[in-house]
A and B are shown apart, each in its own frame.
Chain A
């Protein structure tokens, strides 16, 4: 028997022990509802979220594989209006938004379209203060096990939206913060699995939020970094108005 054989046996043994441990732990796992509510509490509490009615977030987006780094600015307003600008040098500007009814995306590179079905549902879930509205946005949530993210023990919660594929979020057992999310993005470009890792949690006006999100999609890493968050700024109403091309597409429908 050589060393690798022995190592293999140890590995199999370790896996068995681990799965038995996890199986036993699964009986004691907290309910998903509890985990999600604890997340809201850990990040500031419902009252802290609800005192914010508008928001401007500015940051950067870095696509390492291309060596491209640009800016991202998001304007949000209650209950569900948003407008985001991605400006990447050499790739042009991409905008995405909703007036609360029509959800759309537009870029010189790919074109313009009105989101439908699962793609629209995905955008609807990214509304302002969505963190406290999970009961409206997901028809079922359940704790499906434990996992380790960046060396931290996490509760793994599967969340099934009213439309579209389930997402899985990993909540740090100690801090209650989200450390990872796995989802399947759905659009005319196809279905892509995306793994997002959340870090650099810091407080912004009583709400704790991640300031770095590293997303791996289609084998490439995209890093979003938050530089500033402004709550309750005056945002002109026309910021959320549909662009003329989108308005024309909407009228055609």
Chain B
């Protein structure tokens, strides 16, 4: 038998959305109870720490079993399971509603009914307690209506955002994941059926209130499917900045062939460049192993390790295999509060190895390798299977990556069409010796 498997280190990171449901018949209630039991047993048996972070897991089960037995709707059942998972106080434990899976089935490449969902084409961040547009996708419904980076989003479908932002800010305190969760939540509120509009009230560059009905277009990029994850949309872009700096950005660590091809092309075209930028702002992670492949394009030194994943029964090192013709000039990596998981593994490891300088704001600190399983009730269950320690000896979970040079976005700079984080990185590159 000559089939052999090269060691695979794979893990995934994603979070999901929720919807409302009517009261359930007894058979479906039982499926929720079965799902609750499966979630509980999976954590008990597969969490990397047999002591479960010091949580009395049996008590969690016994406290919440009566609640799941009484759960009358799918939302209620998901809330109970989420409450149980919240007791771990760790990221990458989540219940993903079955609706999000859109008929994931026999054939991974089969057509999914994702054409009916879309977004206006806006990216945003919470800056000093305000929801600010940071990017408008060219030719998107938002671009067509004249929305500009730097505009503040005041209301979505008539609902004032300020009280919610303040409330979440207070509740999350100094938690690093707050920005990631809040930004995702606001973006989800802009998303919806393509045949319906979303009403958004903005504060424009002249501090005038502008109310716009924005259409929705399909998500940017091509649909990608991996295992039990809901279908996702992936894009990658690569170009030169100021003629002499290579730049690569992709929205998540998926489609290894596409990311590798884009980086390879830019490294080849950029052999004489002054430096290189990998922009991971807003990148929530994905396939962990891709951090190794990406790192291999930026070092010629053999034997380097980005960090190690510690499972209950094994430890997997994130080794870097240098490419034959890597880019050896200055490397800048851009991160923000929405850079998570594999983004943090890559940025943190390259920072620890002193191979890159990190620009932007503190990353999300959500870096636990995880898997997805389908529950008896049809929902997805994401659970962390390992801890990850960066090569400098620090865990990334709850700690994240601290930029070497902190650069915050401001509404004013965005209105001026500036990207101060990228500007700082390019400026640093230009100051480095040839």
Contact = CB atoms under 8 A, between A and B. Distances in A.
Interface of A: 55, 57, 59, 61, 63, 65-68, 72, 74, 76, 82, 84, 86, 89-94, 96, 105, 107-113, 123, 126, 128, 185, 187-190, 192-193, 198, 209-210, 213, 215, 217-219, 222, 224, 226, 245, 248-249, 251-252
A213 B1 CA distance: 9
B319 A188 contact: yes
B232 to A, nearest CB: 10
A110 B1 contact: no
A207 B26 CA distance: 55
Given A109-B293, A192-B7, 15 more contacts: A57-B2, A66-B10, A107-B6, A108-B259, A109-B290, A111-B292, A111-B293, A111-B296, A112-B321, A188-B321, A189-B9, A189-B318, A189-B319, A190-B315, A218-B314
B31 interface: no
A82 B290 CA distance: 26
Contact of B254 (A90, A185, A251): A90
A73 to B, nearest CB: 9
Contacts of A209: 1
List 4 A-B pairs, minimum CB-CB distance, nearest first: A90-B226, A248-B324, A67-B227, A188-B319
Contacts of A123: 4
A197 B254 CA distance: 31
A192 B374 CA distance: 27
B101 to A, nearest CB: 11
A89 B109 contact: yes
A55 B316 contact: no
Contacts of B6: 86, 94, 96, 105, 107, 187
Given A192-B314, A249-B324, A126 B7 contact: no
B276 interface: no
A193 B292 CA distance: 22
Contacts of A198: 1
A217 B266 CA distance: 36
Contacts of B292: 109-111
A190 B256 contact: no
B320 interface: yes
A229 B303 CA distance: 38
B313 interface: yes
Interface of B: 1-10, 12, 46, 108-109, 224-228, 254-257, 259-261, 287, 289-290, 292-293, 296, 303, 305, 308, 311-325, 371-374, 385
B317 A110 contact: no
B5 A189 contact: no
Contact of B323 (A55, A82, A112): A112
Contact of B5 (A61, A65, A91, A128): A61
A210 B2 CA distance: 10
A55 B10 CA distance: 30
B368 to A, nearest CB: 15
A186 B214 CA distance: 55
A239 to B, nearest CB: 14
Contacts of B1: 198, 209-210, 213, 226
B3 A224 contact: yes
A111 B3 contact: no
A248 B325 CA distance: 8
Nearest to A181: B1
A107 B5 contact: no
Contacts of B3: 57, 59, 61, 72, 74, 84, 213, 224, 226
Contacts of A91: 10, 226, 256, 287
Contacts of A68: 108, 226-227
Contacts of B312: 219
B227 A109 contact: no
B341 to A, nearest CB: 15
Contacts of A113: 321
Contacts of A67: 227-228, 372, 374
B286 to A, nearest CB: 10
30 contacts: A61-B5, A63-B227, A66-B10, A66-B371, A68-B226, A86-B5, A89-B108, A89-B109, A90-B255, A91-B10, A92-B256, A111-B292, A111-B296, A111-B320, A111-B322, A112-B296, A112-B323, A188-B319, A189-B317, A190-B308, A190-B317, A210-B1, A217-B7, A217-B314, A218-B7, A218-B314, A219-B312, A219-B385, A222-B8, A224-B3
